[in-house]
Structure 1
Amino acid sequence: MTEDPTYKHNNDYYDHFTVQPGGEDALYFVGLFRVANIEFLPEHRRKESREFVSVAQNVQQVMNLVYTTSAFSKFYKQSIVSDVSNNNNGGLLVHFWIVFVVPPAKGQVFCEDCVAAILKDSIQTSIVNRTSVGSLQGLAVDMDSIVLSGSSCIYDLYADHLHQQFPLDITATSGMMICYFKLIALVGHLIRLSIASIQIEADNCITDSLTIYDSLMPIKSKILYRICEPTNSLMSFVSTNNLMLVTFKSTQTQKLKKFHGFFEVIAQEKCGKTILAKEKSGYEGRIMSPYYPSYYPPKCICIWNFQTPQKNLGIALKFHNYTVSEKSIKGCERGWWKINEHMYCGYYVDHQTVFRVASSVVNVELQCSSRLSEQPLLVEYGSYNISQPCPAGYFECSTGLCIQQVQRCDGINDCFDESDELFCAVPRHNCNASFLMQHHSLACNGKADCENDSDEQNCTESIPCTKYTFKCSNNICIRKRNAKCDGTVDCIDQSDENNCKD
């Protein structure tokens, strides 16, 4: 694979990638660093802008000078700036590629640390100022911000049309490999990556994995999601900007590794709205996480404002496979909710839950996780009578669900948290001799199960031995099956309480 790392606008380029390790002579190192003395401008995101071209040309000239005068000079081909992005620490982040043409026999010499060391050694820092920012041929580069990752398999894919799906199908034949697919969309838009199927070894991402990053660099803090096992279930993920990196890692094996999916450009969505609830029974509408049914991206904020038509009506929120509970001092791992100024944490569960707010005006805010993508979230809403949360003839579960009263204490966990089966009175049976013969477990179990308590009478009298009786050492059997070491002498020879440990 020796293509130059330039943007491909031909859709045929995206059809299929077959990766065969070995034989390539081009090594690509994808990297970034922070330039502290140039402030980021929105124009830097547009590659045709004067601002982007100026930064790109300046950085490329500096990189060319660094590596053409290094020990790797005869293998160095070019450096290309692929993107310029914002940075919270000031300045801007420059994303680039470094390309070497190396004979296979010398490929092992080009380690990531070696290539990065050449760049870092070229930065002149001030010992007096004790700062990581130094001069790289006039550029104020932060040495601590330098990140480099190498591979012989890197693609730069550009999507420039809304509502068009660009296929991304990968097949790895054999051998150890890792491929980088840099997805770049129109400025001001987002990328949605959809995964239809993936065929890899399931080993907790030790050898095989597909990792999705919310940047053009494989930075751990930018991981949106990681897939470590084969799947045929459709999943989709959304970036927080117009950049996304997909890495596909495979081990040395004779098995075919495949990935089938596509990516597309989507517009940014505003999450939240004002909702006027109706006076009606049941749920009347739904609110959803951003970009539903995709996994929703980190750092999103959704605000829903509910209003009911009457003061005696509140808002009921039915969460699908999700629940909320009051925020603790530890904080929330998966984002947080603010409902009428009260803070809650959200958790994924395997059942529905209902959260009721006893107010005619309800403000709901969802603050998404700060790092990871989360599973799509669906919530139904509707008004309810504050004085009677569940209709007549229904039981209110601790989960907030309403179940029919006949389902209470029926031995089935209808509430999903067993709250419908708590504090249930045990029914008393109208027992006779034949009943106790059929229900041996009720006899002499220390609990009166019969209306006349006959199941707990004559428990120590001698009866014929069966598998439902207790046999004393003198070969006499009694009805009390659990007589051994229960603290009560039941056998005439006291053998049921012999050799008992305190």
Structure 2
Amino acid sequence: MSGTNWSRDVPDPLNSGQRFIPSQDLDQDEFLQASSHKNLEKKPGCRKRLWIGLGLLLSAGAMSLLTGLLVWHFHLRRNVKVTRLYIGSMGISDQKFLKAYEDPHSPEFQSLAGQVGQQLKLIYSANSVLSKYLKSSSVQAFSEGDSGVVAYYQSEFELPAPQQNSLNEAIRSLEEPAETQMGRHGRLLLRPTDALNVNGVTSGALDSRLSRTSVSEKEPINVHVREQGQISSPGFPHTSYPPNFYQKWRLRADPGHRVRLDFHTLILEEDCQRDFIKIYDSLVPIEPRALTEQCGYPRGSLSFLSSGNVMLLTLLTDDEKNFPGFRAAYSQVPVQPGEECGGRLTEDEGSFSSPFFPSNYPPQSRCQWIIQVSEEKFVKVQFKRFSVGNDSQKCVGDYVEVDSKRLCGGDLKDTVFTSQSSKMSIWFVSDSSIVHQGFTAVYEGFVPSNPCPGRFRCRNNICINASLHCDGWNDCGDDSDEDNCRCEASQMQCRNGHCKPWFWQCDGVDDCGDNTDEDKCGTCAAAEFSCRNGRCVSEQLTCDGHDDCGDGSDESKCPKSLLLSCSKFTFRCSDGRCVSKQNPECDGEPDCRDGSDESNCRCGTPPFRSSRIVGGQVSREGEWPWQVSLHIKGQGHTCGASVLNERWLLTAAHCVQDDKNVRYSQAHLWEAFLGLLIQGLTNEWTETRNIARIIAHPNYDPGTFDNDLALMELDSAVTLNQNIWPICLPSPSYDVPAGQEAWITGWGSTAEGGDLAKILQKAQVRVINSTVCKVLLQDQVTDRMLCAGVLQGGVDACQTLQGFHTWVWSWCRVRGSAINMVHHDSKVQNVVHTSPA
């Protein structure tokens, strides 16, 4: 019932014309003249009834007002009209694609566009909602289709706001088969003789972010990818992209080819509601054909392929925080039907992967592998990498099917699938929208009675090298290779039978899993707190607002920082006061009254991008922007260094010590490469400078490598950017706790005695308890050094990045967010970054 009818059908009793008749049971004395004022006083019961009646009247009035407002709101909303834009495509099977269709001003384009417009009217006329609210349609582009031409269009509808759901449903019905549409509408309109033969319609509402009123949309840029080339955002790499900017790049390949787009650099604002790129398997932004949306500094695969010979790239920005943007290389890839993916695998072992792996797989893929091994064997398949679809989709869009079991998402590491025969069938399917990196898998045939010949069999059926059994590492993924082990001299025995490296002892991390490695690590009793100055206080005294330790360490990890007398364990503010908090610098909380603990905090965090680091060994461009390669002219890379500011570098004193062949202390022999990723390959990010001056630490001891520090002054300043950025220097009281994970980077050797790496390498290490380190290294470590060891098998600062499951010790010099690690017998120096990855 409408608000108007409601008010008409429910009369107000006070205006009904009926006479008011008092209730017959009222006290008659109240309606007679009183002889005294006492008789005029109302009885208590009457007063109560009066207040109840007044309350009911007020409630009824408020309800009427609220109802009226709701009625007015819905009447008003019903009359408010909204504009909705839908982007779509239409396959036309009775037309041959002409080159002229690529030019929207050509007569051929205009002619076919007119026919498409008439066809759209015909299609919309079969649905009462679409025909009633259609305002206009326009053709945006044409491309070659599988059996004719694909037309891309935009339709504008104007309708009352409450009808939007009906419009969405009507648009979705356009993709249904003709017999479904007949059932829905009761009949099909007769096709005129000049109607087009339409074989597929796809539509989607325009992304609402593209309708920002402040956005300036530019003319689409048309690119043919027959010849390889590059596209980039405006101003890249010298300036940031413009604000409130919307640009489309339409990429076309030759018939029978795919478009391939590989991003060289992509640095946008982190918030995708503000700035983003979006790629479509189309020439217009049809949402059901969106392949990806990216913002920030993405870490996954940034290589994309189309299903046909067209692709659309869009860039949208807002009015704040503009960033460098992107550069991408385009090319075309021939399509070879039937040979693209899938097939029969008849060897007893092998591998297979999704199409174009490690690039993102293309949309609308369908592949089948039939694995057939020897008759007496079963099949085993293990996915080494897996990123297909999304777990929330319940494997209905993109998926892998192993013997009728569907798999999707990204968490299949260390999972093995086995058959009960010598044959296995594997399908890979992708739909028309969002794509992922895909998968790579290995398979082998195995004899059921001996599934891991010559290797160790894990409980999860993975086979690993027998030498990895009881090596201290969880190689199986379920720890079964570390159960019931006999430890070597370099390992400690955990109570649970596991063996772990000695240098993991007392680092604050429960590596054993039963805390064996962290037992009896302090001098204090179980209920006491171990102060940094060696004293022991009751744990009940921590965070009580008093300096019970005498160095503030019992208050150093508390929510509120204390002002203390200064010591080597406290942070000194610029005003001379000291605070108790441990490592208060740049933690986002001002602890000093003058705010000096939060000043100069731009170091150590690259501009424009997050500091997250992914696994793997080869670094990505700009991942470590403070890394510098120092060359002796004519000899190539000799040492590493860190950027301190526009003019100064930090390196190791042992790198600039003369020997009988080279006077390394002479500045004119050195050349610094900043922003370098690959040795011998410079680009627009790389800056080269000569060295003007070298200052080695005056107390450097070449025998113990104590105070192994040196400064280098560049001959001219560099411009700081996302590829060249300063590292942080800590306060004297900065504490790097044992167990802290850190990263080594450098161009060191990737194998014992091997050549230097060409590409900047990285590896993870862990800071080691100083007491344990001194024991292991027989007191070769001073108080000005920090000890670190491998986190993932056989990695140290000088032989970077090959896991031999052997331990090489390195000692380090604290740099705060970074540590320069050196080795006593090598000129190769690497940089260790202790900021959390």
Normalised-by-shorter TM-score class:
0.5 to 0.7
**Alignment correspondent of 2:341:** 271
Deviations for 1:367-409, whole angstroms, at most 9, x for unmatched residues? 23553211142222333223211124512241x3213567567
Q: Is 2:361 the partner of 1:296?
A: yes
Give yes or no for contact 2:345–2:372 (8 Å, CA) kept in 1: yes
Aligned with 1:229 (options 296, 300, 311): 296
Secondary structure of 1:332's aligned partner: coil
CA distance in 2, matches of 1:166, 1:215: 20
What's the CA shift for 1:286?
2.5
**Alignment correspondent of 1:361:** 423
TM-score by length of 2: 0.35
**Alignment correspondent of 1:342:** 404
**Alignment correspondent of 2:278:** 211
What's the CA shift for 1:182?
1.6
TM-score by length of 1: 0.56
Give yes or no for contact 2:141–2:152 (8 Å, CA) kept in 1: yes
Give yes or no for contact 1:334–1:346 (8 Å, CA) kept in 2: no
Taking structure 1 as reference, are residues 333 and 383 closer, same or farther at Cα in structure 2, changes over 3 Å only? Answer: same
What's the CA shift for 1:317?
2.5
Give yes or no for contact 2:387–2:439 (8 Å, CA) kept in 1: no
Taking structure 1 as reference, are residues 33 and 408 closer, same or farther at Cα in structure 2, changes over 3 Å only? Answer: closer
What's the CA shift for 1:262?
1.8
Give yes or no for contact 2:376–2:422 (8 Å, CA) kept in 1: yes
**Alignment correspondent of 2:376:** 312
Give yes or no for contact 1:389–1:396 (8 Å, CA) kept in 2: no
**Alignment correspondent of 2:254:** 186
**Alignment correspondent of 1:40:** 92
Q: Is 2:496 the partner of 1:413?
A: no
The aligned runs of 1:55-454 (5 Å cut-off) are 55-56=112-113, 58-59=115-116, 81-83=140-142, 94-96=151-153, 152-159=217-224, 161=226, 164-171=227-234, 173-203=241-271, 205-231=272-298, 235-253=302-320, 255-269=322-336, 270-278=340-348, 283=349, 285-308=350-373, 310-322=374-386, 331-332=394-395, 335-339=398-402, 341-349=403-411, 351-369=413-431, 371-392=433-454, 394-398=456-460, 400-403=461-464, 412-420=473-481
Taking structure 1 as reference, are residues 145 and 469 closer, same or farther at Cα in structure 2, changes over 3 Å only? Answer: closer
What's the CA shift for 1:93?
6.0
Deviations for 1:346-382, whole angstroms, at most 9, x for unmatched residues? 3423845443334223332222355321114222233
Give yes or no for contact 2:455–2:463 (8 Å, CA) kept in 1: no
**Alignment correspondent of 1:467:** 525
Bigger relative contact order, structure 1 or 2 (CA pairs below 8 A, ≥6 apart): 1
**Alignment correspondent of 1:21:** none
Deviations for 1:306-350, whole angstroms, at most 9, x for unmatched residues? 222x322233323212399xxx998415633333x4323134238
The residue type paired with residue 462 of structure 2 is L
Report which of the two has the higher share of helix.
2
Deviations for 1:195-246, whole angstroms, at most 9, x for unmatched residues? 111121112x010111111112222222111111125887210111122111
Taking structure 1 as reference, are residues 83 and 351 closer, same or farther at Cα in structure 2, changes over 3 Å only? Answer: same
What's the CA shift for 1:84?
5.5
Deviations for 1:11-41, whole angstroms, at most 9, x for unmatched residues? xxxxxxxxxxxxxxxxxxx975577xxx721
Secondary structure of 1:154's aligned partner: coil
The residue type paired with residue 113 of structure 2 is A
CA distance in 1, matches of 2:335, 2:302: 19
Taking structure 1 as reference, are residues 134 and 258 closer, same or farther at Cα in structure 2, changes over 3 Å only? Answer: farther
Secondary structure of 1:380's aligned partner: strand
Unaligned runs of 5+ in 2: 1-84, 102-106, 121-137, 159-166, 168-183, 235-239, 487-492, 497-505, 507-513, 517-523, 529-837
Give yes or no for contact 1:40–1:85 (8 Å, CA) kept in 2: no
CA distance in 2, matches of 1:222, 1:351: 30
Secondary structure of 2:92's aligned partner: coil
The residue type paired with residue 185 of structure 1 is A
Deviations for 1:145-195, whole angstroms, at most 9, x for unmatched residues? 58666752132424262xx31211112543211211121222332111111
Larger radius of gyration: 2
The residue type paired with residue 95 of structure 1 is Y
Secondary structure of 1:221's aligned partner: helix
CA distance in 1, matches of 2:328, 2:306: 16
Deviations for 1:434-486, whole angstroms, at most 9, x for unmatched residues? xxxxx9xxxxxxx9x9xxxxxxxxxxxxxxxx82489xxxxxxxxxxxxxxxx
Taking structure 1 as reference, are residues 147 and 184 closer, same or farther at Cα in structure 2, changes over 3 Å only? Answer: farther
Give yes or no for contact 1:317–1:382 (8 Å, CA) kept in 2: yes
Give yes or no for contact 1:296–1:374 (8 Å, CA) kept in 2: yes
Taking structure 1 as reference, are residues 244 and 427 closer, same or farther at Cα in structure 2, changes over 3 Å only? Answer: closer
Give yes or no for contact 2:139–2:151 (8 Å, CA) kept in 1: no
What's the CA shift for 1:303?
1.4
Secondary structure of 1:292's aligned partner: coil
Give yes or no for contact 1:336–1:343 (8 Å, CA) kept in 2: no
Give yes or no for contact 2:267–2:295 (8 Å, CA) kept in 1: no
CA distance in 2, matches of 1:147, 1:337: 30
Report which of the two has the higher share of strand.
1
Secondary structure of 2:233's aligned partner: strand
The residue type paired with residue 451 of structure 2 is P
Deviations for 1:225-278, whole angstroms, at most 9, x for unmatched residues? 111112588721011112211111122246443210122221124211222214
The residue type paired with residue 209 of structure 1 is F
Secondary structure of 1:240's aligned partner: coil
**Alignment correspondent of 1:72:** none
Give yes or no for contact 2:341–2:367 (8 Å, CA) kept in 1: yes
The residue type paired with residue 320 of structure 1 is K
The residue type paired with residue 192 of structure 1 is R
Deviations for 1:271-318, whole angstroms, at most 9, x for unmatched residues? 11222214xxxx5x331211233100233111122222x322233323
